[in-house]
Structure 1
Amino acid sequence: MDIWTYQSVEYVTVAGEAWLASASEYPRSMRALWQSRPWAPSVLPCGRVFDVISMPSLFGRRVLDELWASGPGCGPVALFRGRTLLFVQPGAAPRLRTLLAWEEWAREVPPLLCHGAGDAVTVPPVQRMVDAPDSPGQGAGRWIVAPDTREPWLPGAATVLWACVRASRGQAACDGPLPAPADLDGEPDPLPSA
């Protein structure tokens, strides 16, 4: 499956809007803002309802393809200023950051921005103004998979790590063989015999 061609839900539903607003300390004010300016991007805090993993868009596409093709799928996903924003379980961002630093193949994964508690992210508008191309915020990003329920399924750190490694190895297979993982002493481990 290719999420970029057909698993796309680009418009935030009323239930999805309620879920997004619940991340704010003042959900009713957030919904009122969206009602008056549905075309404007918004800043929402991470850590309460979701964390966000921000990755380069091309790598993000490969990660999402992995999640859909051979994994469980994903929850909300947005594109914003050349980055893919993957919404994940609260607490997944610091855990993923730790796992990436610990694992021997982390050097194969491009740098990810892991936004968790204490961070905030800019999310695309809740509505796309198709009939008004000159409206403010039109270039502010878009939803690839928009929130559509009050409780969307969000991947955890292990699922995202798995998809990142698979996406990295898939790219590395195109670029050549992966280097042998380094042992604790910094020397490459011998490759296993076939």
Structure 2
Amino acid sequence: MDIWTFESVEYVTVAGEAWLASASAYPRSTRALWQERPWAPTVLPCGRAFDVVSMPALFGRRVLDELWTSGPGCGPVASYRGRLLLFAQVGTAERLRPLLGWEEWAPEVPTVLCHGAGDAVTVPPLQRMVDSPDAPGLGPGRWIVAPDRREPWLPDTPVLLRACVRAARRSGRRPAPPPHGANRFLSGEPDC
């Protein structure tokens, strides 16, 4: 299934709303706010119910394609101000960025921002109300894969690392050769 062929916006279900609100220190207040303003973006803390991996839209699309075609699929995904927000398991943010830096394809991976404990992200509105006078325009974000369960499946570090590396390889660029002596332990050659 190609998630990019959908023209309609996916909406957050009641169960998905409960899951998103569980990230807040005050879930009942968050849900009450959404009852009054379901079209308003919301800032939620990371590290409690989810981590978020934010990447440029084009690279994010390649990563999502990898997750769907050669992987297990993805959990909730949002688009906000030109970046894709992939919701991931708690702890992913802390581990993913350093691992991406170790990969030989690291120069081909654009800036990936990993938001975990102590960080917060703006998530798109639960609904889009085009004709409402209280909700002018469509706003800067939308759900690509909306949360639809109380406990959605979330990718972990190895799944996202594989998808990022494969997406970088698919871009058609070649990595820079390793610096002289970088493979000396594997080849048995001296570093001189």
Q: Same fold (TM over 0.5)?
A: yes
Matches of 2:133 and 2:79 in 1, distance apart?
18
1:185 matched to 2:171? The reply is no
Matches of 2:54 and 2:153 in 1, distance apart?
18
Offset of residue 107 of structure 1: 1.4
Q: Which amino acid aligns with 2:49?
A: V
Q: Which amino acid aligns with 2:12?
A: V
* SS state at 1:161 partner: helix
* SS state at 1:101 partner: helix
Using a 3 Å threshold, how does the CA distance of structure 1 residues 124 and 168 change in structure 2: closer, same or farther? same
1:73 matched to 2:64? The reply is no
Using a 3 Å threshold, how does the CA distance of structure 1 residues 59 and 29 change in structure 2: closer, same or farther? same
Q: Which amino acid aligns with 1:129?
A: M
Matches of 2:42 and 2:9 in 1, distance apart?
19
Q: Which amino acid aligns with 2:33?
A: L
1:38 matched to 2:38? The reply is yes
Number of the residue aligned with 2:56: 56
Q: Which amino acid aligns with 2:103?
A: E
**Identity in percent:** 74
Number of the residue aligned with 1:87: 87
Matches of 1:133 and 1:108 in 2, distance apart?
44
Matches of 2:136 and 2:162 in 1, distance apart?
38
- TM-score normalised over the length of structure 1: 0.87
Offset from partner CA, 1:117-151 (integer Å, 9 cap, x none) = 00000000011114438724731300000000000
Does the CA-based 8 Å contact 2:9-2:142 persist in structure 1?
no
Unaligned runs of 5+ in 1: none
Alignment length (residue pairs) = 186
Unaligned runs of 5+ in 2: 188-192
Moved over 6 A (4+): 187-190
RMSD: 2.4
- TM-score normalised over the length of structure 2: 0.88
